Structure 1
Amino acid sequence: MSVVKAVEPPQPHPLDMNMDDMFEMMKTQLHQSGVPEILHAAIFRKVNQEIFDAGDFFEVTMMVDDNEEPIKKQTFATKDIGCNDTESVWLIDHAWTFLPNTAIESLKKIPQLLGRLMTMFLLHSQDKENGTERLVKTVYKELFKYAQTYSITDPSKPMGDNTINYWYVVDEFGVSIGHSDMPNCRMVPFFVPTKGYTLSILFLTEDIKKGQELTRDFVDVGLAKKHPKWRDILLTVWDEDRHIDEKLFEKNEITDEYFTLGRIPDHIPSDEVQAKCKPFIYNKDKPIRLYDNDQQLFSNLKDIKVEFVDNIYEADVIWLRHHFSEFKDLAEKNSTALVNQFPYESSLTVKDLFAANVELVFNDTEFDSVKMVKPPLWLPITYNLNTELPQFYKYFKEREKKNLNNTFIIKPWNMARTLNMTISDDMSFIIRQVETGPKIACKYIEDPVLFTRPDTKKNVKFDLRFIVYVTSLSPVTCYMYNKFWPRFAVNEYSLDNLEDSLAHFTVHNYTDKSLILNMFSDDFIQEFEKTYPNQQWKNVEKQIYEVVKQVITTSSILPSPRGVSPNAQSRGMYGIDVMLGWKDSSHKEIQVYFLECNFIPDCKRACDFYPDFADTTFRTLFLNEIDSEKVTKI
């Protein structure tokens, strides 16, 4: 086997499992991938003996133009082959496994890989004469016409942050198999636990004759099966001029089901029951009974006495990391308790649901067809690619016609920490990313306010993490913790290197902590005003607070399940991430952009930086003790 792997996906070591478990894992994979059971025995044998015998059944031919330049590869059967033959299955090697954000770096570092892909992708001789830098870009642009994907989930990590999507390119034989809307084969990835690597399985879906071309469906993916009318859009990756039915671009109606599908419903007490719920009375001489299944934050309490209890119905304060839905039950059985969640708060904390809320609330605002933007300006234009891909495609193409910047950041619905996020101005790349799970596309803030890192003197991107405490949604009552956390990128900011995660992402404490620049908020403000003497921080902060208030308010205007619901016993602490950008090229006015709202943000750094943080949080949320030196009402 000839394998080049710049990224080695973490997999269980073969010895970590017994043989029965290994074969059960393989059978499960094959069933999930739709591989006929009659082929399983041949697959196990060929995998065990590493038999790559496709060359005994097929041949690859090359079509060339008048200048003898290769233009197309095709694969043909060299004999009649029946799809029900128990031996009609073949192993295909993977030439390269990679992550989108590190692919270009790998191509630069591994010349033999770059050369191999140039040949596989049929780049012409004039392309090969370009410099390495340009050639790498050319190969990368072609890459997602050939690459396929699989995901690896680590069950030991928290849900939502435990899946990584890997991309791979199959070998020269595999990439020579062409597309057809009426294919005669399928090719699926297959992890081999006995060997510790991934390869692909090729099998027929119908009988083929000698001399017949072998073809597969390039969009044999879940999204195409869920939305069959989207096939033409998905196939534009390989055929940019493909005709798209204009009816696809019609706006989708956002229904209640959009907010409830696949989610556990929250049970809300009636207004009459809520009226009887009165918070516990705080007695400084007695410990507060606290149910806390996390204790990351409140183990840092200094002045407040608490007693940890194991039953929520005996607690004064309930602090949960997992989703809580039984608000009605709590009101009936423990009416004096306070809990750290609001019903349906996923409409604030889940990216696609919040964007849908904004769309509904601001539905009547006018769209600026020149700048291609729509109020509220604090939220970059956002599309749910799993429900609005046609509408996004149209928007992208219209921006393209107007020669507007077309850079977007592609985010999973429910992951923070930049996991599986990518940035691109290539429609084909964006379309392919939807195969890796639910995604939204947000207009990238291409002209951010930059900060000069004192350690490297590089002008880098930054964002700001604020903590907001919500004590009521009827009326909306919230407080900002007066300190905040600036987070910095590592490399110089540039739109010429969209694949450089160190230039475009600011959160690195889950990857390489040595890259983190820690800075107190007061020091940041001082440096900010030195760099931008025409920008007073108090004015920027005022705009930030206004945006945060609008975010909380917008998420709670509509009745549940669309909006976050008021509840007498509910309180909420959220991590709000914002970024500063320039309103226009004059760089005179700053626009605050809302990035996302995080439920139960990581508070370790908050407690390390500011020893009062845990006590301030507890007093503000649960004791109604507001210290204006620590928090600001907005």
Structure 2
Amino acid sequence: MEYNHVEHGDVLVSGNLLNSFVDLHRSQLELSGVPQLFYPTLFDKLKKQIFDAGDYFGITEVENDEGETVQRRVCVTSEHNLLKDDPSMIFLIDHAYTYRINNIRNELEQLPDLVERLSRLMLISSDEENKINAIIEHMWKFNHTYTLATNEGNAEDREPYWYIRDEFGSAIEHSDQANVRLVPFLSMIDGQMYTLLWLIKDIKCNESVTVDYVCGIHDEVIRRAKLVPWTEDDLSGDIDYQQTEPNEQYFNTGRENESLPSSDNYPRIDLTKLNRTINVYTDIELVRNHLIDKRFQLVEDLSQADIIFTRKHFKDFKNLCENTQQFINQYPFENVINIKDLLAVICRRTSLPIDNETLQSYPLWLPTTFNLTYELPKFISYFQHREQKNLDNHWIVKPFNLARSIDTHVTKNLNAIIRLAESGPKIVCKYIDKPLLFDREDSGLVKFDIRYIVLLRSLEPLKVYVYKKFWLRFANKPYSLDNNYDDYQVHFTVMNYRYAQNLKKITCEEFIPLFDKQQQHHHLKWSDVQENIFSMIHQVFERAILKKPPCGMLSCHRSRAMYAIDLMLDENGQPYLLEMNFMPDIERACLYYPTFMDDIFCTLFLDESNSNVIDISSK
């Protein structure tokens, strides 16, 4: 739609400027569903900073017997009914506070006036001793989220922003029959984020203004679950928490399937019988610098390679197997173990259901895990059952596909878990509330996790190996659960990218005797713990091939792979699988162990054994 000259009140809006505004904001306007009749008014109000909602609406308060405000609502105060087809009926709402969740406590401690404002906005009692804790507890009924998509910048830029609307915007209540829409909007005019309000129904004078808090969700059970922060609904009585495996369509969602060979009769290649140097093509600098075994040589032409070792996701297995004699460092449909939500599904195969008495889930080595997209009602029911049994209810919320603990949060607040899912697809895992701790001489008893490099040479028959040297990551501060869930240095161990000044480095050779000494009172020996870890890793791959693609991995004679497995131990030494990663960071491995890359290539491609690699194929 082109605009020439459009009247808005007494102001003549330039058609060229308006068209430029619409072009600049088109994707936002269309994705948010802003009707075109509001574009001229929106442009004018943004340009002139017109906040005129107060001319049409007012906030009414409900008080209890003690005179304290216990509820607010917004009503139409205009003398005339408001019409949804009136092009002036779009309004700007300001934001009281914009923040990132992990920063909120530190920021509020420095902004006492904001603490008072948010306390009043959230109807927190003036007698509350710790208003910051109360704000963090209550904010999930008031906050909203957006992420600024950028092609540049670092991974932390993908951390979502959360915001709380001003007093007017925060007072608008929910209704299934809403009469307005509210959406966040980034104005390129001044670079500021606003909330837009526009009418979707005619509203009479004195009528309440309402919005659908879960707009766009039509499934009644999902709507009910997402509204729990406001309704406090109990789902434990009628929603079954037992988990069932999703259908094949779920495994295909949002991905391009691999092309597969027509049959299993493609040529099998034995690189040890080439009678020449094996050509390796790689886009990984660490491989280029540390693969020194003379039986391999690097080539720049991919077509000349015998081995392709790449970070890029590979899809064309049909061409690889039928038209080349090359190997690739990936397996078809390995996404089922590298994406967090699918990994949990894979690991639950052949396991017992959740025990209805103890609420223990299986296998024991997998933290209880729910997908917050399609299992939210089941999770809420399970959470509420645990609450009724007075079981620990600390959880960790993780994005499907982000690393380095980005947008990952520890909480026991059910409302927080429900709302956190709005910033992108997430799983929620039972937090290991009683982890095995390591005594850091400079910090005290801290959490730690362990990373193993796993080598997959074959799926059928299963040939899987573990690199003998493993890596350790430590928290910087002593572990506790004393309402400090937003203290990254207590609950997380990835310190390479933040708080690196306190990063503890220790080799596995140094760790093992310290572990055995520190865990004497638990009667734990590292050799026994490691056997359980190897058994767990073996079971993951066994379960990954129980179903055909796309629900499982596919055996391929031309595939080899290296994965990282991250795990933690509880106070009894029980290992818990945290995640698996394709093509992990191997910088420390190459730095500490000069033969690492040679060991990997010889195991995967020459089927050679050596003292640095442990065969766990029969664990």
| TM-score (normalizing by structure 2) | 0.91
Q: Do structure 1's residue 541 and structure 2's residue 530 form an aligned pair?
A: yes
Q: Do structure 1's residue 144 and structure 2's residue 136 form an aligned pair?
A: no
Gaps of 5+ in 2: 1-16
Task: Output aligned runs, 1:151-300, within 5 Å.
Answer: 151-156=147-152, 163-220=158-215, 222=216, 224-225=217-218, 227-241=219-233, 246=238, 252=244, 254-274=246-266, 276-281=267-272, 286=277, 288-300=278-290
Give 1:242 shift. 6.0
- 1:218 aligned partner, one-letter code: Y
User: Equivalent residue for 1:52?
Assistant: 51
Gaps of 5+ in 1: 1-17, 583-588
User: Equivalent residue for 1:585?
Assistant: none
**Offset from partner CA, 1:596-622 (integer Å, 9 cap, x none):** 100110112222222222222222222
User: Equivalent residue for 1:444?
Assistant: 431
SS in 2 for 1:82: coil
SS in 2 for 1:393: helix
- Aligned match of 1:591 in 574, 582, 603? 574
Give 1:368 shift. 2.9
**Offset from partner CA, 1:162-210 (integer Å, 9 cap, x none):** 6322110011111111111111111111112232221111111112122
**Offset from partner CA, 1:419-459 (integer Å, 9 cap, x none):** 111111111111111212211111111100011223x2321
Give 1:322 shift. 2.3
| CA contact 1:559–1:565 (8 Å) conserved in 2 | yes
User: Equivalent residue for 1:395?
Assistant: 382
- Aligned match of 1:499 in 482, 486, 511? 486
- 1:306 aligned partner, one-letter code: Q
Task: Output aligned runs, 1:431-510, within 5 Å.
Answer: 431-454=418-441, 456-496=442-482, 497-510=484-497
Distance 2:557 2:207 in 1: 70
Q: Do structure 1's residue 32 and structure 2's residue 14 form an aligned pair?
A: no
Q: Do structure 1's residue 343 and structure 2's residue 343 form an aligned pair?
A: no
User: Equivalent residue for 1:417?
Assistant: 404
- Aligned match of 1:630 in 606, 612, 616? 612
SS in 2 for 1:238: helix
Distance 2:565 2:500 in 1: 22
Distance 1:61 1:633 in 2: 70
- 2:46 aligned partner, one-letter code: V
User: Equivalent residue for 1:15?
Assistant: none
**Offset from partner CA, 1:346-379 (integer Å, 9 cap, x none):** 11111111211223332xx254333311331000
**Offset from partner CA, 1:461-492 (integer Å, 9 cap, x none):** 11001101110011111111111110011222
- 1:183 aligned partner, one-letter code: A
SS in 1 for 2:544: helix
- 1:152 aligned partner, one-letter code: L
| CA contact 2:346–2:540 (8 Å) conserved in 1 | no
Measured at CA, do residues 29 and 515 of structure 1 come closer, stay the same or move farther in structure 2, by a change above 3 Å? farther
| CA contact 2:236–2:385 (8 Å) conserved in 1 | no
| CA contact 2:100–2:159 (8 Å) conserved in 1 | no
Q: Do structure 1's residue 308 and structure 2's residue 299 form an aligned pair?
A: yes
Distance 1:622 1:442 in 2: 36
SS in 2 for 1:467: strand
Give 1:418 shift. 0.9
| CA contact 1:179–1:218 (8 Å) conserved in 2 | yes
Give 1:623 shift. 2.3
Give 1:125 shift. 2.7
| CA contact 2:96–2:163 (8 Å) conserved in 1 | yes
Distance 2:426 2:118 in 1: 28
Give 1:271 shift. 4.7
User: Equivalent residue for 1:426?
Assistant: 413
SS in 2 for 1:590: coil
User: Equivalent residue for 2:14?
Assistant: none
| CA contact 1:298–1:614 (8 Å) conserved in 2 | no
Give 1:388 shift. 1.1
Measured at CA, do residues 293 and 162 of structure 1 come closer, stay the same or move farther in structure 2, by a change above 3 Å? farther
Give 1:20 shift. 8.4
Give 1:493 shift. 0.9
User: Equivalent residue for 1:9?
Assistant: none
| CA contact 2:22–2:39 (8 Å) conserved in 1 | no
SS in 1 for 2:505: coil
User: Equivalent residue for 1:99?
Assistant: 100
Distance 1:241 1:272 in 2: 54
Distance 1:90 1:349 in 2: 45
Distance 1:633 1:268 in 2: 29
| CA contact 2:148–2:160 (8 Å) conserved in 1 | yes
User: Equivalent residue for 1:514?
Assistant: 501
- 1:309 aligned partner, one-letter code: E
Distance 1:423 1:141 in 2: 13
Distance 1:195 1:457 in 2: 46
| CA contact 1:417–1:507 (8 Å) conserved in 2 | yes
Distance 1:297 1:83 in 2: 63
Stretch moving more, 43-52 or 149-158: 149-158
- 2:454 aligned partner, one-letter code: V
Distance 2:270 2:157 in 1: 37
Distance 1:443 1:402 in 2: 16
User: Equivalent residue for 1:112?
Assistant: 113
- 1:526 aligned partner, one-letter code: P
User: Equivalent residue for 1:586?
Assistant: none
| CA contact 2:279–2:305 (8 Å) conserved in 1 | yes
Distance 1:310 1:414 in 2: 31
| CA contact 1:177–1:214 (8 Å) conserved in 2 | yes
How many pairs align?
Answer: 594
- Alpha-carbon RMSD: 2.3
| CA contact 2:452–2:471 (8 Å) conserved in 1 | yes
User: Equivalent residue for 1:327?
Assistant: 317
Distance 1:390 1:196 in 2: 38
| CA contact 2:286–2:590 (8 Å) conserved in 1 | no
Give 1:54 shift. 1.3
- 2:546 aligned partner, one-letter code: I
| CA contact 1:101–1:500 (8 Å) conserved in 2 | yes
| CA contact 2:271–2:605 (8 Å) conserved in 1 | no
Distance 2:454 2:121 in 1: 52
Distance 2:156 2:553 in 1: 24
| CA contact 1:424–1:498 (8 Å) conserved in 2 | yes
SS in 2 for 1:620: helix
SS in 2 for 1:471: strand
User: Equivalent residue for 1:615?
Assistant: 598
**Offset from partner CA, 1:516-537 (integer Å, 9 cap, x none):** 2221111122222221123221
Give 1:342 shift. 0.6
Distance 2:201 2:63 in 1: 29
